[in-house]
Structure 1
């Protein structure tokens, strides 16, 4: 299985939904997802005041690339704030978060499976 094939379409046609963790201040617009692996391409949005502390530090079994489109948020474990125009590339297992955004943030994220050695 893999992500579905799409030609260009208006991203605004995809609704924002509440992310896992059920915080209504943290929403996602999933552009493509592989239902077998859960890897996805999405727009993530933290409303002003959003805080992912209840979800704790995150680690994934997939690669994750994140580009901040607008706003900023703070990685509470690192005590560092990251803003628009910044990029992260996280290998499987890399710890990150939890996050807090005082004024809101919007990111573009691409997630893809880890490739096993010899595959």
Structure 2
């Protein structure tokens, strides 16, 4: 008999609050503050902090840190604006640092 398995989910490493689905990954080739990071098209159960301009590896961006809504752990950031044309695809997307999330239902 086949086991029913739910969607593959990423959760906060601190409190296991669900923050995104595996299917929402756009790229695994990103760098966060603390190492590897993933670019997601959607995130849930998060708090979006104030916007600020930040110089990142790919240029100047307006970003907002994102935190878990349960434990307030900073998980990454949301791209609000990209100033270079080649980086516009990131706008409205989320960076979740690999060290801050764990896999669920794998």
> What is the TM-score with the length of structure 1 in the denominator?
0.30
Higher strand share: 2
Higher helix share: 2
